[in-house]
Copies of this chain bind each other. A is one copy, B any other.
Amino acid sequence: MILNRLQQSLNQLSKAERRIAEAILNSPADVVHMTTAELARAAEVSDPMVSRLCRTIGCRSFPDLKVQLASGMASGNSYISSTVSSGDNTETFANKIIGASMNALEYLRSGLDVEAIEQAIAILRKAKRIEIFGMGGCASIAADAQNRFFRSGIPTVCYEDTLKQRMAAASSNSDTAVLIITFTGRTKDMIETAEIVNRAGGNLIAITAIDSPIAKLADVAISSAAELEDTTIYVPMVTRIVILTIIDILTTGLALQMGPEIETRLQLIKHSLDLTKVAK
C-alpha cells in the first residue's frame, strides 16, 4: 500500500518531498481530489515537486498516485499505523497497535512470495525430521513453530541455545529440514549455524529479513516483513505476528499435502487433552 510506502520512506526523502508526503498522510482522503497545484500549495512547495515525489515513491504520475491512494484507502484497509505517542488514551493506542498488526498482515498478503512458500513446503514434506532454531525474541516463536510442526507426524525439535543449534546443524543432512527464525538475519551465531547447515548438507529454510546474510545462505528465504517494523520502539511487534502467520501457512500447506491421514492424528492429539479440562 502507498500509505505504507510513504510512511516508511519518510526519512529518506528530501525536505520538500517530506512536506508533501506528510501532507498526503495527513489527509489522504482529500488528496484524492486535489490537483498537483493544490497539493503543492498545501505542502508549501512548488508544483513540480509533487510530480517528483510521485516518481520517487514509484508512481508513474500524480494521477496514478491518486488512483493508488484511492484503492489503498478503500474498505477496511485504511489502518494507517501511526506511532503511539505519550498523549494517547488507552483506546487510541490500543487501536494503533491493532492497526499496525493488521497493516502488517495486509502487507504480507500483498507481497507474499508464493513460490518460496511452495518450495518450503516441498522441503518440509520430504523431511524425515525438522529442526527449528530461534534465539532471543525469536525463541518463543520457534517454540510455537515446534508446537505446530510436530503434529504433522514429522519428528520436530526446537533449540534456542546456540551451542545446541550448532551441534544439531552439524548433524543435519539431506533428510533434515532446518528452519531458522530471526528478525534481523544478522545475528553472528545464527549466521555461523546456517553455514554449518550448508556444509552438512541440510535443507535450510529461513524466515527473516529480506537481503540479510541468513536469507542469502538459505535454500529458501521467506521475508518476515521486518522492513515494516516501527523502529521508534525497541521490540519487534508486527514482525512477530507476520512470522507466526507464515508458520500457520506452512503448517497448513503441509497438512493439506499430507491429506486425510493427518486428520486422524490431529484429532487424537486434541482428544489427548480432554481429561485435562473441566467440562462446559
A interface residues (Cβ-Cβ under 8 A, vs B): 32-33, 63-64, 66-68, 70-79, 84, 86, 88, 90-91, 93-95, 97-99, 101-102, 105-106, 108-109, 112, 114, 117-118, 121, 136-137, 139-141, 143-144, 147-148, 151, 184, 186-189, 191, 213, 233-235, 237, 240-241, 244-245, 248-249, 251-253, 256, 259, 266-267, 269-270, 273, 276-280
Residues of B within 8 A of A109 (CB): 94-95, 98-99
Residues of B within 8 A of A186 (CB): 277-280
Our pick among B266, B267, B278, B280 for the contact of A188 (Cβ within 8 Å) is: B278
- Say whether, besides A244-B241, A276-B189, A253 and B93 are in contact (CB < 8 Å): yes
Subset of 22 A-B contacts with CB under 8 Å: A32-B67, A32-B71, A33-B67, A66-B67, A70-B71, A75-B75, A76-B78, A86-B256, A91-B114, A93-B252, A94-B114, A98-B245, A101-B105, A102-B105, A139-B143, A140-B143, A144-B240, A186-B278, A186-B279, A186-B280, A234-B267, A240-B244
Whether B114 pairs with A90 at a CB distance below 8 angstroms is: yes
Shortest distance between the CB of A92 and any CB in chain B (Å): 10
Whether A88 pairs with B256 at a CB distance below 8 angstroms is: yes
Shortest distance between the CB of A261 and any CB in chain B (Å): 12
Whether A118 pairs with B90 at a CB distance below 8 angstroms is: yes
Residues of B within 8 A of A118 (CB): 90
Residues of B within 8 A of A213 (CB): 278
**Which of A98, A144, A266: most chain B CB closer than 10 A?**
A98
Instruction: Determine the main DSSP class of A at the interface with B.
Output: helix
Shortest distance between the CB of A90 and any CB in chain B (Å): 5
CA distance A105 to B112 in the complex (A): 19
Residues of B within 8 A of A91 (CB): 112, 114
CA distance A74 to B273 in the complex (A): 40
Whether A249 pairs with B97 at a CB distance below 8 angstroms is: yes
Whether A241 pairs with B245 at a CB distance below 8 angstroms is: yes
Our pick among B187, B237, B269, B273 for the contact of A276 (Cβ within 8 Å) is: B187
CA distance A105 to B108 in the complex (A): 15
Residues of B within 8 A of A237 (CB): 248
Whether B84 pairs with A256 at a CB distance below 8 angstroms is: yes
Whether B235 pairs with A151 at a CB distance below 8 angstroms is: yes
**Which of A73, A109, A114, A273: most chain B CB closer than 10 A?**
A109
Whether B90 pairs with A98 at a CB distance below 8 angstroms is: no
**Which of A33, A93, A102, A269: most chain B CB closer than 10 A?**
A102
